[in-house]
Structure 1
Amino acid sequence: MITVANRIFVHPSYHDQFEARFQDRAGLVDGMDGFIANQVLRPTAEGDPFVVLTFWRDRESFEAWTRSDAFRQGHAKSGSLPKEAFSGPNKLEVHDVVQVTGEVRPQ
């Protein structure tokens, strides 16, 4: 299993709009082969990024998603926020999962 973390720096005045994009998302990734889960993490300290965290069976499944028509459709709304909403470039990180304990559910 892998995780893919997309760290997205958003100006505080656009936080609500950014979150709304995910609440209204198309959900196309949910049906992709190898997809496990998606989490959107809100920063608690000013200047920190949002983290969009996805869990995949393997890297091949994630890469197939990024090449799919569903990916292009799911990201078609990405231009809905103006360029000034973002305070820096995104940073994509891929990690192998070496241990999992417990279950995470929002409260």
Structure 2
Amino acid sequence: MIVVANRIYVHPDYADAFEERFRRRAGLVDHMPGFIANKVLRPLNEGDPYVVLTFWESLDAFKAWTESEAFQKGHARSGTLPKEAFTAPSKLEIHEVFLDTESEEG
């Protein structure tokens, strides 16, 4: 499994607008072959980034998403917030899961 983390540094004044943008997202990724899940993490410490996590069956599935027309459509909406809404460039990280554990109580 592949996990893609997009760390997005949002100015606190724009946090509500940023979150609303994700609530109203196009959702096109949800129907892509190999897509497993999408999670958006809200920072609890000032200055920390939001983290958008997507989970994929394979690196090829993720790459197919980034090269798709659906990707272009979904990200065309990203220009809805002004440049000053972001305090630093976003950072994309791609990781392979090599260990996955769960609580024995869960």
Q: State the SS of the aligned residue for 1:75.
A: helix
Identical aligned residues as a percent? 65
Return 5+ residue gaps in structure 1 as ranges. Answer: none
Question: What is the TM-score normalised by the length of structure 1?
Answer: 0.93
- Tell me the residue number matched to 1:50: 50
Paired residue type of 1:96: E
- Tell me the residue number matched to 2:65: 65
- Tell me the residue number matched to 1:27: 27
- Give the structure with higher Rg (CA): 2
Superposed CA RMSD in Å reads 1.0
Q: State the SS of the aligned residue for 1:48.
A: coil
- For these two proteins, the number of residue pairs brought into alignment is 103
CA distance in 2, matches of 1:88, 1:8: 8
* C-alpha deviation, 1:101, in angstroms: 2.3
- Tell me the residue number matched to 2:40: 40
Question: What is the TM-score normalised by the length of structure 2?
Answer: 0.94
CA distance in 1, matches of 2:102, 2:82: 39
Return 5+ residue gaps in structure 2 as ranges. Answer: none
CA distance in 2, matches of 1:27, 1:12: 25
* C-alpha deviation, 1:102, in angstroms: 2.8
Paired residue type of 1:9: Y
